[in-house]
Amino acid sequence: MRKTKEQELPVLAVDLGGTKIITAIISNKGQMLAREHCLTLADEGPPSVINRILSAIDRLLGQRGINSSQLGSISIAAAGAINVEKGLVTSSPNLPGWHDIPLRDIIKDKYGITTFLINDANAAALGEHHFGAGKGVDNLIYLTISTGIGGGIIINGKLYSGLCGSAGEIGHMTIDVNGPRCNCGNIGCWEMLASGTAVAKEAIRRLSQGESSSLTEIVGGRMEDITAEKVSMAAQGGDSLASEVILTAATYLGVGMVNLVNIFNPEMIIVGGGMAKMGNLLLNPARQVVRERAFPLSAPAVRIVPAQLGDDAGAFGASAFAFQQQTGRAE
């Protein structure tokens, strides 16, 4: 099938997260032609964040010396619950004050070209499927593990969105019915037990009870500065408390993966986000739990691998989503 002009032009992709905004121009062959990022400063509220998105787009277009008419579309990957059909950010734990914000139409009205909106974790799943670790794999689950846990599900080569477009909120499956309360209002969610936030909280809890750790020196006695990254640093240096905290999170990570393996029987689980930088320190114990607990037919079939696209997975995925949508319209 002959490509339309829209499909041949590059996409301007925006990845809107709780901490940073990445903008990129990506060709239909998956080449990143330009990129820039800035802080989200989400606490300032939706109008300020939207202005930063518009400024970032303008800077990127200026950097390339092009205008919006030379783009095929703009595609936005945003953190939170997304109504894809209406182009709304309906809510977002990481973007305070974002309730039914018509982000797609705000961008479309400013630049006058076709604009798409998709959840950021779903976008990252598409990015890894088309351009990263999952290239050529038709059945996979993408996990992003950082402040929280998000995900995207690829079935038979296509993103599974569910009835309302909200499928893939796997960070909010219940792992412990007596566990801590989640920001979503539920109790014992996966992200409260296996995310970067969970790792930092558990380390702080144990230190507050008087246990000793090199973490105290790493953060200069300021426990509020403890992050999952610093816990990982301490663990790699041989600190026993930090190693135990990560092992606990990795075990919970594995338990959640067992559920996914038993339900979806995927060929691959791709792990991205800040926690993925821990590598095998996190993934090997999780893999062991899957081997021990998942169905014997499914467990050896799944590969659990780190993501390849890093911070750019969402932008690449947003562009892949746009090219898919344009192809569907042309058919």
| Any domain includes 115 | yes
Report the mean per-residue pLDDT for the chain.
Answer: 93
Alpha helices in 97-239 (DSSP H): 103-111, 120-131, 191-194, 196-208, 215-218, 228-236
Domain match, 67 and 145 both = no
Q: Do 139 and 115 fall into the same domain?
A: no
Amino acid identity, position 19: T
Q: Evaluate whether residue 294 is within a structural domain.
A: yes
Number of folded domains that form the chain: 2
> Sign of torsion, CA 79 82 87 92?
negative
Instruction: With cut-offs at 50, 70 and 90, classify the pLDDT of residue 327.
Output: confident
Q: Could you give the CA distance from residue 170 to residue 172 in angstroms, rounded to a whole number?
A: 5
Taking only the tens place, the pLDDT of each residue in 289-314 is 999 999 999 999 999 999 999 999 99
What residues form DSSP beta bridges with 154?
140, 159
What DSSP element (H or E) covers 266? none
Residues 249 and 153 occupy one common structural domain: yes
For residues 177 and 58, membership in a common domain is answered with no
Is residue 107 in some structural domain?
A: yes
pLDDT at 171: 93
Same domain, 46 and 194: no
Q: Give me the pLDDT at residue 161, please.
A: 87
| pLDDT tens digits, one per residue of 11-28 | 999 999 988 999 999 998
- 113 and 145 both lie in a single domain: no
Does 301 lie in the same domain as 275? yes
Helices and strands in the chain, H and E counts: 11, 12
Distances from the Cα of 295 to the Cα of 153, 254, 262, angstroms:
20, 13, 6
- 296 and 169 both lie in a single domain: yes
In a shared domain, residues 12 and 109: yes
Model confidence at 183, pLDDT cuts 50, 70, 90, reads confident
Predicted confidence (pLDDT) per residue in 36-52, tens digit: 999 999 999 999 999 99
What CATH number is attached to the domain comprising 27? 3.30.420.40
58-116 pLDDT tens trace: 999 999 899 999 999 999 999 888 998 899 999 887 899 999 999 999 999 999 999 99
Same domain? 195 vs 291: yes
Residues sharing a CB contact under 8 Å with residue 206, sequence separation 6 or more, in sequence order? 213, 241, 245
The residue range of the domain holding 225 is 133-307
Residue 171 main-chain phi, psi, to 5 deg: -65, -15
In a domain, 28, yes or no: yes
Distance CA 65, CA 63 (A): 6
First vs last C-alpha separation in the chain: 8
Residue 74 covered by a domain: yes
Residue 300 lies in a domain: yes
Please calculate the CA angle 244-247-252 and round it to the nearest 5 degrees: 130
State the pTM of this model.
Answer: 0.90
In a domain, 128, yes or no: no
Q: Give whole-number Cα distances, 154 to 128, 223, 309, in Å.
A: 10, 40, 17
Q: Do 285 and 139 share a structural domain?
A: yes
Pair 38, 146 in one domain = no
Residue 127 lies in a domain: no
